[in-house]
Amino acid sequence: MSAIFSNFKKSFLCILACLAFFSAAFSAQSQDRWGIQGQYLTLNDKPVFLSGANYIPSQDWYFILKDWKPDVVERDMAALHKLGITTVRFPPFWNLTQPTPDAVDPVMLTRLNDLLTIAHRNGIAVQVEPFTGGICGASYLPEWAAGDLFADPKIVKGERKLVSEMVRSVKDNPGLMGYDFGNEVDILLRYYMKLNTTPEQSRQWAATIYQAFHDADPRHAVTNGLGSIGGKGENFDLWNVAGSSDYMSVHSYAFFDDTIKYDPWVGQRTLYDMNYAVARAAMPGKAVLVQENGFSEAWVGSKDEIAKCLRISLMSAWAQGAAGYFWWGSHDNDINYRIPTDLIALKYSQPSLAQGIMSQLEYSEGLLDINNQPKSYGLEYQHWNAVIEKLGLGWKNDLPVLYVLYPDQIAKDDEPGRIQLAAFTLAKQTHMEVKVWPEWKPIPSDAAAVAIANFGLSEKGKTVIKQYLESGGVVYQSWLNDFGPALDAKEAGAPLSSPAFIISTPPLGTPARNLLPISEGEHVRVNAQLKVKEIAPPSDPQTQVLLWLAPADPSAPLTRPVFFKTGVGKGSYYYLAANLEQALANTYNPWDQDDSNMIYSVLRPEIPVSIDSKFVELYVKSRGAERIFLLLNRSDRFQDVVFRSAQKIRLQDFTTHAPLGEGREIPLRLMPGEVLIAQQN
């Protein structure tokens, strides 16, 4: 009997093993296929735009895995689905999932799988991030990881254990979209723990963890959601991050990035901050997800203003070609909720967390309230998600491309790229498609022009740009002059009083062709304390003076040329002998009294359509015979805009089909923060 029973037991276990194998195989086969194609992620081989949110459970915050309430998750996911949310990002806390370096809690993994299953049942896919040791000002590191997370071999071994077990647990779950390293691991390094990890050590760590993800699951993509991506020579610099990510992710907040110090909430650099971050992260050539963007009510104070910011950010992310847009966060936090302090690594947390109280901003930034009711900007997200779904993908950008060059070394006083952001904004105000490009890489063939804002090129950069110029390229450079040897510049003295004026009238007898969009004798105002170098009027006949500094006495002769055009090979080199972008970067909201975008306008070739407001962003897109024009009012005031077309055109509203006008000039009025999609009829 014992032999018979033993044989029966073996057969039964064999059957169970086969069933488990076929069940896993069926699960993997029935799971959606996620991939990457160009600038987008793909779902079952079709490119998609990810309309997402960072999931904050409406109850028990991120400790919901500890105090598991699947009914809460069910209600949350159903409410998010109604807003058109297709993907969420979720951070299982590290100290919950891996209490020791050698053990990953199976109960937590089961609950994480349940969360993914619930999300999938509600039409939502989840991005999982294992290393969430810090979030919202507090650290949730397990005690065994309280060392150098990126260089201590014992800790790294434990981290690889976490990745392997968590990934193997969820990899066949139909609710899985992919993986993120963790929530802003660079913040742990720089701010919470203040580690002395070297850039090379952080690069090696990222490569090791990236490999661990793909060893456990080669089918799903991995990204690294950092608080900020560093420059060359920093921990987690752009190129090292790209080397250990299948696609890039950016986090952009006007508050934390300090762009709110430059312009109003519904303003220029405050909102272009996100677009600049996307353009910069795209330099390595990988898809870019806006993984975090948001505006807390504790900052802005008005839900209507937040709705405007969300509308512009979401639609410009889509128009720019980002892979998707995730709002922070999905839900408000209950104002009465207190984080269990015994689960906080207080040594690495903000002092207020000793009482379990988060910063005020964390309680009021959700698309939904704690009762799953959509707020006004949640409804705004719902509306524009539906518009994006209707628009789809596959549109070609038809505006000329201007590349803002990114310096090989960022100056210390330009952190975090303020000068380049000013250049990006000026280029956008002239209605071109604007990209960011490293100075040391050959200029792409689609470039209409290149801008070098307030820095001198490296030797490699000079070689690249000289080749581009000699082949017929168009280049603008300010302050430092790398390609105008006939222009003898003297160092500037004190900054000019604001506003400084530059005038476009050439001296009597000087041959010059006005290339600016203003009449001769009119002024280009620069509303900043500008430094201007002294340059003698050029004797080289190839060099043309475009702008002169206006003298204090209007009747006095013009003696100080400041903006030049000269030939280099087959190309055109424009040089501004002033620190324009740096001066603007140091000036709060100068735009009403500033015409600096006119200087950049010489770089834009003739285009068949244009608008006349620098406060309104323009995208021109086509798909086969279809043609649309996106106009985004990046200001908190009404903007009267004239839409100009070389050919007679008829426009209608894409969403309402209401007629907008017909002819070569069509007047339009945009409300504060409005996004208008005009369709050629």
426 or 484, which is more confident: 426
184 has a pLDDT exceeding 80: yes
The Cα 36–Cα 18 span in angstroms is 33
pLDDT value at residue 232:
81
What architecture is the 609-680 domain classified under in CATH?
A: Sandwich (2.60)
- Fold for 37-391, please state it: TIM Barrel (3.20.20)
Residues 613-646: pLDDT tens digits?
Answer: 999 999 999 999 999 999 999 999 999 999 999 9
Extract the tokens encoding 260: 């709110």
Q: Residue 452 to residues 36, 419, 422, 519, 679: CA-CA distances in angstroms?
A: 32, 10, 12, 26, 35
What is the tens place of the pLDDT at every residue in 424-444? 999 999 999 999 999 999 999
Tokens 């040391």 identify what position?
440
- Percent of the residues in the chain that have a pLDDT greater than 90, as a whole number: 77
Flag the least confident range among 46-55, 141-150, 621-630. Answer: 141-150
DSSP conformational letter for 497: P
Q: What is the pLDDT of residue 505?
A: 61
Domain boundaries defined on the chain: 37-391, 400-508+515-601, 609-680
C-alpha distances (whole Å) from 273 to each of 136, 171, 260 are: 21, 35, 10
Q: What is the mean pLDDT of residues 289-316?
A: 97
User: Over the stretch 275-295, which tens digit does the pLDDT of each residue have?
Assistant: 999 999 999 999 999 999 999
* Per-residue model confidence (pLDDT) at position 508: 47
- Asked if residues 619 and 629 have their Cβ atoms less than 8 Å apart, the reply is yes
Collapse the DSSP code of 89 into the 3-class scheme (helix H, G, I; strand E, B; otherwise coil) and give the result.
Answer: strand
- The whole-number average pLDDT for the span 199-222 is 97
CA distance 477 to 462: 12
| One-letter amino acid for residue 379 of the chain | L
Does residue 521 surpass a pLDDT of 80? no
User: What is the pLDDT averaged over residues 401-426?
Assistant: 85
Q: Which one, of 290, 260, 287, lies nearest residue 275 by Cα?
A: 290
- Residue 158 CA to residue 94 CA, distance in Å, equals 11
pLDDT at 12 over 60: no
Hunting for tokens 């620098």 — which residue is that?
614
pLDDT (tens digit per residue) in 34-44: 999 999 999 99
For residue 92, what pLDDT band results from cuts at 50, 70 and 90?
very high
pLDDT band at 487; cut points 50, 70, 90: confident
Under the banding of pLDDT at 50, 70 and 90, the label for residue 512 is: low
Mean residue pLDDT across the chain = 91
Structure tokens at 544: 């043309």
Neighbour-count burial for 182-214, b at 16+ CB within 10 Å, e otherwise: bbbbbbbbbebbebebeeebbbbbbebbbebbb
- Nearest residue to 593 via CA among 531, 525, 641, 547: 525
Query: Which residue in 41, 369, 39 sits closest to 177, CA to CA?
Result: 41
- The residue behind tokens 């407001």 is 613
pLDDT value for 233: 82
Q: What is the DSSP letter of 52?
A: E
Taking residues 218-236, report their average pLDDT.
92
Q: Which two three-digit tokens encode residue 657?
A: 């089909």
Arithmetic mean of pLDDT, 126-131? 96
Which CATH superfamily hosts domain 400-508+515-601? Class I glutamine amidotransferase (GATase) domain (3.40.50.880)
